Amino acid sequence: DSGVTQTPKHLITATGQRVTLRCSPRSGDLSVYWYQQSLDQGLQFLIQYYNGEERAKGNILERFSAQQFPDLHSELNLSSLELGDSALYFCASSATWATHEAFFGQGTRLTVV
């Protein structure tokens, strides 16, 4: 168990809808990272937050947004969902803003139908 908690584990929704994925980092970790894992694109970095502020952006679509709250949990919001957004979404956390020290959660499997 990495100590990173993601909810829900599974999510099925229709195209055009909006969903929110939640991540609770390991106790004491200030950074949260979001990654998307799909069959065709593999694991891709989406966005990083450090102590409530956005620190780095990767391949995140404009339809997607994230935030980190004062209690350091994070939410990834996916809107206007398309079939191609079906994927595993992972959250990782680290104590600092150093990416290489991150630990991953179990992921949320999103299926868009």
Biggest distance spanned by C-alpha atoms of the chain: 38
23 contributes a contact to other proteins by CB under 8 A: no
55 contributes a contact to other proteins by CB under 8 A: yes
Window contacting other proteins (CB under 8 A); options: 16-24, 55-63, 66-74, 76-84: 55-63
Q: Which amino acid is at 56?
A: A
Between CA 50 and CA 93 the distance in angstroms is: 9
* Tokens found for residue 6: 């993601």
Window contacting other proteins (CB under 8 A); options: 14-22, 69-77, 78-86, 93-101: 93-101
35 contributes a contact to other proteins by CB under 8 A: yes
13 contributes a contact to other proteins by CB under 8 A: no
Phi and psi dihedrals of 108, rounded to 5?
-120, 125
- Judge contact between 31 and 55, C-beta under 8 A: yes
Nearer to other proteins, 46 or 78 (CB): 46
